[in-house]
Amino acid sequence: MNYFEFYHIPESFLPDEKAIKRRYYELSREYHPDFYANEDLGTQQKILEMSTLNTNAYRTLSDADLRMQYILKEHGLLEEGGKNEIPGDFLMEMMEINEELMELEFDFDADKLREIGEKSTGVMAQLENDVLPVLQRYPELHGVTKEEALQEVKTYYLKKKYLLRIQETLSKFATRS
């Protein structure tokens, strides 16, 4: 079952967080296994499944990255080992940063590390700034189809994942200095 439908909220990248939490607690009470201890095994199993569904829905919908990944997967846009292509210009920019990181392996320079960190933080901020209007308007879009918006979000998601790997490498360097 679709998590948004299960929670009776519209599909959105920026849903009402309070509504998600409120629905989670309502369903937690409704499907709490302790209330069904005297029921038959079939009913107990169904309640346990609903309780698990509620927990998984809450974990996914209350986390912005997991929610984005979920929506993209629901629309068939994230494929394992498939057409998850990142634009070439972005990859070139990231290749430059990766080369700078490799140079730090051989010749560590704290100033260079800080410079690379600032550069990656700036790229991340720009990505977030660029995609925010799409996230805010989705799915009520004007002048853009839902498919185009989802593609834009997918590109953002893939770029962000790439940048997060770079930032993880940067934090490893930072612990060494």
For 44-56, what is each residue's pLDDT tens digit? 999 999 999 999 9
Confidence of residue 139 (pLDDT cuts 50, 70, 90): confident
Residue-level pLDDT at 96: 94
Residue-level pLDDT at 143: 80
Q: Which residue has the tokens 């009776």?
A: 8
Residues 100-117 have a mean pLDDT of: 91
Residue-level pLDDT at 31: 96
Residue-level pLDDT at 173: 81
Between CA 23 and CA 20 the distance in angstroms is 5
Residue 162 in this model has a pLDDT that exceeds 90: yes
pTM over the 0.75 mark? yes
| Contact assessment for residue 34 and residue 20, using Cβ atoms and an 8 Å cutoff | no
Question: Selecting from 3.40.50.2000, 3.40.430.10, 1.10.443.10, 1.10.287.110, what CATH number does the domain 3-62 have?
Answer: 1.10.287.110
The 10 Å CB-count burial string (b at 16+, else e) for 89-112 is: ebeeebeebbebbeebeeeeeeee
Residue-level pLDDT at 85: 84
